[in-house]
Structure 1
């Protein structure tokens, strides 16, 4: 079976001993204006390396990518390089469709990326990907909105209780029709990435220490889900429906 070398940087391939142009298929999930940047980078690389031809193909959102990857594995049509969420690496490793890239890594790159990020793409001592597009959850707020609501823009909420109180002032019915037009906040809280900061803040974990149980009904998990639910249905400072793009 063809195995995928999972990474999200263009591998530097030595072509001195090859007469035939090397073709590299690269699947990614970077859409909108970022897709254009990826295409520009690929073109620049191809122009600078005439013996190599990289073809970048947008495959939709990460979830769509995962389905296409598994389908491609069955039909033996996997790409050479792909950008995927690290949550899916275990599935790919268990199905034997990834190729460890330890021997391909530049030592300088290995040193430059924090060790905690390498751990996310390492299984049984082998590295299966290069950390890329790693996000950190941050809290942004609109200072002008704070001023309009009579809040101090230099003193944003620092506790859950303060967030709720500020949220009540920031949620506004602008036209007086009995429906809120502006909500205090939205965020991406679906999946591991969105939920984890709130769960960890409550002292919870997704898995038991030995990794054998998923802690979906732990006291910390239930408290976290309850807090998020109350923002919508009890305090009404967050809308009931929004897209992941709007929340992120």
Structure 2
């Protein structure tokens, strides 16, 4: 698997902890001209790893050379970085974005609505791999009329990471992890009963991550965090699903005592608990497993991955969009680059073979971009070169196709900050008024969503 792709996925998952506000102003090309000289088109693209990541940077530079050799009329001006929420709005407003630039799944809707990115629909006939890209991922980059403004290059969805050894010790079958929240609750009770400081289930409640996970809970129970009503968005979490989620959390925390007394946790805290062998389960994407293995010197065999309990899950990802002021030549050149580097199942064996023998995980169930022939090609390559126990992730693979993936709502980070307070109150105050918490959060969220343009 391409290590850059793995990093982009991790960045997408962690982006839920970072605020993003995009200013409303037209975009401009960073090159300031057509980029065409002597029949050669030069395009600026981001995604070049920093010099400190020597292997990744060399691989990227090698890809640029190989691409230019096979596309002699295109030159790549590669620039460091992906998408920095702290500087993105200023670069967009100042016309400093690259011709082809990286975005998270939370970005396209606003950029499209404000008409700040190029419509690439008329050029997609030159992207044959698009036929196999999962439609729900391409939909992230479409407007209401079906016009396309970007391409997905990575994705993830939330699942349940669990400690297989603790499952076995607690009399649970690690091949059959929970598929509902009632089953999670029962499993957490049995794991906690092992004693020795072991916690059955842990969850986040800090730095927007509590709101992020509470949203996942709500989706899993058939609800929504926000819904579009015509041109406007309205909060939707003060619902049966929202109340159910808080009831489960309250009962696991206070009635069952399966979540431990230490709360106000975030990603590193929970990963450390899992890495110490003292945690049974928590919500996360597949990319969390390599982090735990590397940081805490664990083994891949120790961990399993199940699909999100319930009927829905929160998903995210990343992709590339195109500068509004691009010439047609630049846009077509940019599409050729994105397809060749990121959406090219035929290159998967070459990419994967390069990573074989390294500590880059091969065989995780996501990113998972393709259906059809493209998907089968990638699965076969990963099975051949896998250096992780794919059987441990089969419960995720088997059920994930039947769990509805919902992408993050608009102004997601502001909503998550509001829902953080709800999560924190339920997990730290046994007598917290859950009805009032949701009602108050709904009022705040209404203001945030009214600002969506």
Q: TM-score, normalised by structure 1?
A: 0.71
1:39–1:56 contact (8 Å) kept in structure 2: no
* 1:146 and 2:167 aligned: yes
The residue number in structure 1 matching 2:267 is 244
Q: 1:132 to 1:38 in 2, by over 3 A?
A: farther
Q: 1:132 to 1:67 in 2, by over 3 A?
A: same
The structure 1 residue matched to 2:60, chosen from 42, 48, 51, is 42
**How far off is 1:202 after superposition?**
2.0
The residue number in structure 2 matching 1:10 is none
The residue number in structure 2 matching 1:100 is 119
* 1:114 and 2:137 aligned: no
The residue number in structure 2 matching 1:69 is 88
Distance 1:166 1:221 in 2: 22
The structure 2 residue matched to 1:17, chosen from 17, 22, 39, is 39
The residue number in structure 1 matching 2:104 is 85
* 1:164 and 2:180 aligned: no
The residue number in structure 1 matching 2:201 is 185
1:27–1:79 contact (8 Å) kept in structure 2: no
Question: Where does structure 2 lack aligned partners over 5 or more consecutive residues?
Answer: 1-25, 272-282, 285-453
Superimposed CA distance per residue, residues 55-92 of structure 1 (whole angstroms, 9 cap, x where no aligned partner): 24225xx6xx2332111122221122222222222222
Question: Where does structure 1 lack aligned partners over 5 or more consecutive residues?
Answer: 6-12, 175-179
Secondary structure of 1:132's match? strand
Paired residues, what number?
Answer: 226
Which of the two has greater strand per residue?
Answer: 2
Distance 1:70 1:203 in 2: 34
The structure 2 residue matched to 1:203, chosen from 209, 218, 222, is 222
**How far off is 1:155 after superposition?**
3.9
Distance 1:156 1:98 in 2: 43
Distance 1:16 1:236 in 2: 71
Secondary structure of 2:161's match? coil
The structure 2 residue matched to 1:55, chosen from 61, 69, 78, is 78
The residue number in structure 1 matching 2:153 is 132
Distance 2:201 2:38 in 1: 55
Secondary structure of 1:156's match? coil
Distance 1:193 1:134 in 2: 16
Q: 1:109 to 1:58 in 2, by over 3 A?
A: same
1:117–1:131 contact (8 Å) kept in structure 2: yes
Superimposed CA distance per residue, residues 116-158 of structure 1 (whole angstroms, 9 cap, x where no aligned partner): 2211110132212111211133333322111222333344333
**How far off is 1:44 after superposition?**
1.7
Secondary structure of 2:154's match? coil
Q: 1:188 to 1:133 in 2, by over 3 A?
A: farther
**How far off is 1:26 after superposition?**
0.8
**How far off is 1:194 after superposition?**
4.2
1:4–1:98 contact (8 Å) kept in structure 2: no
Q: TM-score, normalised by structure 2?
A: 0.42
Q: 1:165 to 1:36 in 2, by over 3 A?
A: farther
Which of the two has greater helix per residue?
Answer: 2
